[in-house]
Amino acid sequence: QERARLLRGQSVQQVGPQGLLYVQQRELAVTSPKDGSISILGSDDATTCHIVVLRHTGNGATCLTHCDGTDTKAEVPLIMNSIKSFSDHAQCGRLEVHLVGGFSDDRQLSQKLTHQLLSEFDRQEDDIHLVTLCVTELNDREENENHFPIIYGIAVNVKTAEIYRASFQDRGPEEELRAARALTGGPMVSIYDAKTEQLRIGPYSWVPFPHVDFWLQQDDKQILENLSTSPLAEPPHFVEHIRTTLMFLKKYPSPTNTLFPGNKALLYKKNEDGLWEKVPSPRS
């Protein structure tokens, strides 16, 4: 509770693109302090979603993911394995988990997700220490009888382990493509290879989004009410984000060959200025 209170009391820091790896909904990224490209993992726009940070205090391996409750049972083992994949999985040190997000929403989706995450982490064989719990009612504020999350986004500094309230201007690369995958119901995926320090997107496939033209004709209110889990609490750019994602899905109803030539992943690496740059894909 004390950790939650301190986190809620912070002002929101604007995080620039240098050294940042932004994690979208249903994505997972893991790295360690040895990473020469990435020093900050972050995510925001969580309303009923929860942002989960799992860290090993021995080797500093840190995973951040943005969970929406689609398949928590499958996602928690993925999060666990991502940390264990660091071969210098030190004997000394412990696993610490931080859960942030959600609020007291009408449909109790946040509550359900909090419960799922806690019980799944509890079910793991390893000892996991819950260090920060700032979710659901602990992350709730009320205004004119409507409830809202206090914290929508956080960042974690991989080198210092500091976790703080954050918002992000830059959510790239391939923001629309990644959002389209989540909107069409893709499962949780890992997007970063810490060994090569490359962001790997895809190759993804999806079926054409049902009634995409119908949704694109709807007004903001309809989109908000039907395509959000918590219409009143969404950040101001939510509808615009959904519209651009729907336009993208209309343009690329089946992405396999158009977006992923030769069915290969799109690779990005940080350049000297700390910004993402596309890597030519290997010819193999």
- Residue 10's pLDDT is 96
CATH code assigned at 110: 3.30.1330.200
Indicate the pTM of the whole model.
0.95
Q: Is residue 283 part of a domain?
A: no
Per residue in 13-35, is it b (16+ CB within 10 Å) or e — as a string?
Answer: eebebebbbbbbbbbbbbbbeeb
Least confident of 8-12, 61-65, 162-166, 251-255: 251-255
- Residue 141's pLDDT is 96
Residue 122 has pLDDT above 90, yes or no: yes
Q: 65-100 pLDDT, tens per residue?
A: 999 999 999 999 999 999 998 866 556 889 999 999
Mean pLDDT of 225-234: 92
Q: What domain range is 132 assigned to?
A: 1-278
229 vs 282, higher pLDDT:
229
Above pLDDT 70, what percent of the chain? 97
In the sheet that holds 13-15, the strands lie side by side as 13-15, 163-168, 154-157, 40-43, 20-22
Q: 21-38 pLDDT, tens per residue?
A: 999 999 999 999 999 999
Q: Is residue 198 part of a domain?
A: yes
Q: Is residue 110 part of a domain?
A: yes
Q: Is residue 193 part of a domain?
A: yes
Mean pLDDT of 184-201: 96
- Residue 283's pLDDT is 62
Above pLDDT 90, what percent of the chain? 88
How does strand 128-135 pair with strand 140-143? unpaired
Q: Is residue 161 part of a domain?
A: yes
Q: 216-229 pLDDT, tens per residue?
A: 999 999 999 999 99
- Residue 282's pLDDT is 65
Tell me the β-bridge partners of 138: none
Residue 209 has pLDDT above 80, yes or no: yes
Supply the mean pLDDT for the chain: 94
Domain count of the fold of the chain: 1
Residue 1 has pLDDT above 70, yes or no: yes
Residue 155 has pLDDT above 70, yes or no: yes
Least confident of 90-94, 159-163, 228-232, 236-240: 90-94
Other Cβ atoms less than 10 A from the Cβ of 51: the count is 30
Q: Please state the three-class secondary structure of the chain as a single string.
A: CHHHHHHHHCCCEEECCCCEEECCCCEEEEECCCCCCCCEEEECCCCCCEEEEEEECCCCCEEEEEECCCCHHHHHHHHHHHHHCCCCCCCCCCEEEEEEECCCCCCCHHHHHHHHHHHHHHHCCCCEEEEEEEEHHHHEEEECCEEEECCCCEEEECCCCCEEEEEECCCCCCHHHHHHHHHCCCCCEECEECCCCEEEECCCCCCCCCCHHHHHHCCHHHHHHHHCCCHHHCCCCHHHHHHHHHHHHHHCCCHHHHHCHHHCCEEEEECCCCCEEEECCCCC
Mean pLDDT of 140-165: 96
Q: Is residue 85 part of a domain?
A: yes
Dist. CA 135–CA 20, nearest whole Å:
24
Dist. CA 249–CA 181, nearest whole Å:
9
Q: Is residue 284 part of a domain?
A: no
Token digits of residue 216: 């694109």
Radius of gyration of the CA atoms of the chain, in A: 19
Q: Is residue 103 part of a domain?
A: yes
